[in-house]
């Protein structure tokens, strides 16, 4: 989906749905979730931080919104120096340009379809263990 205002959007809202991993037992009768009780507020806050950041990353990737991608990168706890984030983002986008063409509008549809075929070929090769 193309959003002509993607670069200037400031109305990002996180969704109200997320999936959390929980412990379970697996046997011949299926998967049985183990009760864990309510999530403590401190852990819930940490989870919301990661959920929001992951949703921003997905939204940025789908729309090609570099500003949102930068916000997500700055919000990542592994990024220790905010001043380095713009350069890091450009390096990440350049290194992954083959897969993130929405951030590179100069690429044509033909290049993008070739990229997708290349990606699918690599994915099949990886899945088959070649």
pLDDT tens across 98-115, in order? 888 888 776 544 454 555
CA distance 128 to 59: 31
Contact of 111 with 99, CB cutoff 8 Å: no
61 vs 59: CA distance, rounded Å: 5
Of 26-30, 53-57, 122-126, which range is least confident? 122-126
Q: Which tokens belong to 119?
A: 């990606």
Residue 9: what pLDDT? 45
The structure tokens listed for 113 are 């379809």
Region of residue 44 (phi > 0: left; psi between -120 and 50: alpha; otherwise: beta) = alpha
Q: What is the pLDDT of residues 39-71, one digit of tens each?
A: 888 888 888 888 889 999 999 998 899 999 999
Q: Is 62 helix (H, G, I), strand (E, B) or coil?
A: helix
What is the C-alpha to C-alpha distance for residues 80 and 42, in angstroms, rounded to an integer? 22
Cα separations in angstroms, 38 against 11, 35, 41, 100: 31, 9, 9, 38
């Amino acid at each position: 989906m193309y959003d002509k205002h993607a670069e200037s959007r400031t109305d990002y809202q996180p969704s109200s749905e997320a999936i959390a991993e929980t412990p379970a037992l697996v046997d011949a009768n299926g998967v049985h979730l183990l009760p864990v009780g309510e999530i403590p507020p401190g852990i819930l806050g940490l989870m919301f931080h990661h959920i929001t950041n992951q949703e921003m990353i997905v939204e940025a990737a789908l729309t090609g919104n570099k500003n949102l991608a930068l916000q997500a990168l700055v919000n990542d706890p592994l990024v220790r120096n905010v001043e380095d984030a713009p350069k890091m983002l450009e390096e990440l986008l350049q290194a992954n340009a083959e897969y993130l063409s929405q951030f590179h509008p100069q690429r044509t549809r033909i290049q993008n379809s070739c990229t997708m075929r290349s990606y699918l070929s690599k994915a099949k090769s990886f899945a088959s263990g070649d």
